[in-house]
Structure 1
Amino acid sequence: MGGRMIDVLGDGSAPRLVVFDLDGTLYPKEAYAEQVLAVIGRMFVELRGSSQAHADEKVAGLREAMRTNWSGTSTTSFVRANGFDVAQWLEYREAHLSIADGLVRDEDVVRDLARLREVVPIVLLTNNTRGAMTAILDKVGLGTGGFTQVFTSEDSRDTPKPDPGAFQVVLDRCGVPAERTWSVGDRVDIDIAPLVRLGGSGIAVDGPADLRAAVDHLIGLVRRG
């Protein structure tokens, strides 16, 4: 499972908690991007009454942002900027988006997260709904039981990633300070920078191929104490 070199952001303190992203981190982003783009285009037409041409133009702009700045592109932020509220977006994607259908069990991901869970609590933080998250985790092979706790859009409510408030919910409920918390995700601006602003650290990965290196790094920090 040879990935690229991971990018470490933070002070190197030993973690007492590790927060994982879901989309594009625990399964390849290619399984996510085109599906969610199609759903967003459909949402413009059905909920906003936009023409298909206008919807296609919006989707094309988001697709280009994903291509050129994946690390800083949040679909939740995009739909909010275009006048949809979070609850509306979550309800629509729950009804029309089924990423789990195209996924398969990933033994490497299951094994690597189990290794890390033996030495430090791990949690999941995603902007997905609980239903979508559960379906994805089941298909990948982790299940919700693969994490100490899971946090979804129902938990972060009006402060979804990249709002630091989503991470603050995790910190408060887990009782761990930001300074001893690490985040692992495929988008620096969305999955890592908000925690860093709170005083935490993170590792940027380019999908599941990099998880082994990230887990090895974190285990090394725990053992060095």
Structure 2
Amino acid sequence: MKHVNLYLLLLVSTISFAQELDYTKIPQLQTKATYTTQVSPDKITLSITLSESNTRGKVSVEELEKRMEEVLMENNIDLQKQLTLTDLSSNFKEYFLKKTDVQKTKNFQLEINDAVKAGKILRGLENQDISNVQLLKTEYSKLEDLKIELKGKAIEKAKRQAEEMVKSLNQNLGSVIFISDLETNITGLFNGRVSGINIRGLNSIGYVAPKPESDLDIEFDKIRVDATVIVYFKIE
């Protein structure tokens, strides 16, 4: 019973204190700060289509797949973890209707972690008559950690702003009485709908072949992260 009475007493005291404390009557400085950074994507997903029709039936899908795997292994790609078969199809139905040759198609997704390796792989695939490659998406694997880090830096920036603002007032900056995690904006992530890659010698559909001795010069759009906070400081 004593424990219940003590709990009720503490609850009533807390409620009374909250009612008496009016933050609007506290001399304060309100400041808003944004901290921005840009990072390069470290997870790049490509779509690779192997089609017998691209070689006019001269090279089978099985042979194209073997060539693709050789190129990927030369660039230290783990085929089990980084390469996924997404679709296998053929024009078998059309064969019966039009009596044409059956031609197969295989679609793969490939995950790589940097633009330099992407350039080497694209060059190697093109040398093997595999040029139907498209960018699906770009990501940054440590995005959540980066967002938290930027929020901390935004608060530090808000404090520096506030200190500069009270310097000429002969007053001191007191403790923080309010913080708002206002927003975090992320731009530059590629999701297949907007341009996110700049490849010298490669258009959005296929290749315009560069010099044979060079790798493709690829630059992916950087991912921009903006973290914004609002902080209220006491003025003493």
TM-score (norm 2): 0.28
Tell me: higher relative CO, structure 1 or 2? Use CA pairs within 8 A at least 6 residues apart: 1
Q: Which has the larger radius of gyration?
A: 2
* Larger fraction in helix: 1
TM-score (norm 1): 0.29
